[in-house]
Each structure stands twice: as C-alpha cells, then as structure tokens.
C-alpha cells in the first residue's frame, strides 16, 4: 500500500512540475485572454492518458505500478481541470462568455478526440 502511494506521489510531483514549466513557458510567450496554457496542457494530458490506456491493454507492465505512476500520478498532476473550471468562471465574470464557451467546448471535444487517438495509436 505504501508503494502505491509513493508511485502516485512521485508521478504527481513530476506531473505538477511539468505543468508549471509548460504553463510558464506558454504564458510568457502568449498574451491573450484565451487560457492557452491550460488548454494545451489538458489536451496533451488527455492524449497521454489515452496512450497509457491503450498501452496498458497490450502490456502487463502498466497494469498496477506503472498505471499508478504514469496515469494516476503524472497525468493527475499534469492536467489542470480545476484550473480549467476556475478560468471559465473568471472569463464569465470578465464578460468574456464567448471565449469561455469556445474554451469549454473545444477542450471537451478535442480532449475526447485526442484521448481516442492515443488509444488508436497503440493498436
């Protein structure tokens, strides 16, 4: 049980640090009300978890410890759904509902599509 917590914690640390780094670089180079950093991170995270799921169906190594490290830990630390929700609330409060709606719809639709693509690429 302790090993499982450690795997999730190590993966979560790596995912969180990666999210911070990617977000920092994107926000430093893009000045726009659309939250590109969180959007890109969530899309990439959906793709990664799709790849992991597809690989896990083909390879036994990902069944337990690998899944805890990479999917639960890394992807859980890397993706930013809570930040996504907060950014939508802020966009609505700033009278930018159209951007919020585009952000929400495109995140969900593209996220599902690239997750599926990740699974498809592993077959």
pLDDT in the model for residue 94: 94
- 3-state secondary structure string across the chain: CHHHHHHHHHHHHHHHHHHHHHHHHHHHHCCCCCCHHHHHHHHHHHHHHHHHHHHHHHCHHHCCHHHHHHHHHHHHHHCCHHHHHHHHHHHHHCCCHHHHHHHHHHHHHHHHHHHHHHHHHCC
pLDDT tens figures, 51-80: 988 888 887 767 778 889 998 999 999 998
Domain boundaries, the chain: 2-121
Residue count of the chain: 123
**Cα(25)–Cα(106) distance, integer angstroms:** 22
Q: Which residue has the tokens 């690998």?
A: 66
**Cα(102)–Cα(91) distance, integer angstroms:** 11
**Cα(110)–Cα(118) distance, integer angstroms:** 12
pTM reported for the whole predicted model:
0.81
pLDDT in the model for residue 48: 94
pLDDT in the model for residue 62: 72
**Cα(37)–Cα(27) distance, integer angstroms:** 6
pLDDT in the model for residue 44: 94
> pLDDT below 50 — which residues of the chain?
none
pLDDT in the model for residue 82: 83
| Contact present, 37 and 23 (Cβ < 8 Å) | yes
pLDDT in the model for residue 54: 87
pLDDT in the model for residue 29: 95
């Amino acid at each position: 049980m302790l090993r499982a917590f450690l795997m999730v914690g190590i993966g979560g640390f790596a995912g969180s640090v990666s999210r911070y780094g990617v977000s920092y670089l994107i926000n430093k180079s893009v000045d726009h009300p659309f939250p590109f950093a969180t959007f890109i991170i969530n899309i990439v995270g959906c793709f990664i978890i799709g790849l992991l799921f597809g690989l896990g169906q083909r390879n036994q190594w990902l069944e337990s410890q690998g899944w805890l490290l990479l999917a639960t830990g890394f992807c859980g630390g890397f993706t930013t759904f809570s930040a996504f929700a907060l950014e939508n609330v802020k966009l609505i409060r700033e009278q930018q509902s159209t951007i919020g709606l585009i952000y929400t719809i495109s995140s969900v639709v593209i996220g599902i599509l690239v997750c599926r693509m990740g699974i498809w690429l592993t077959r």
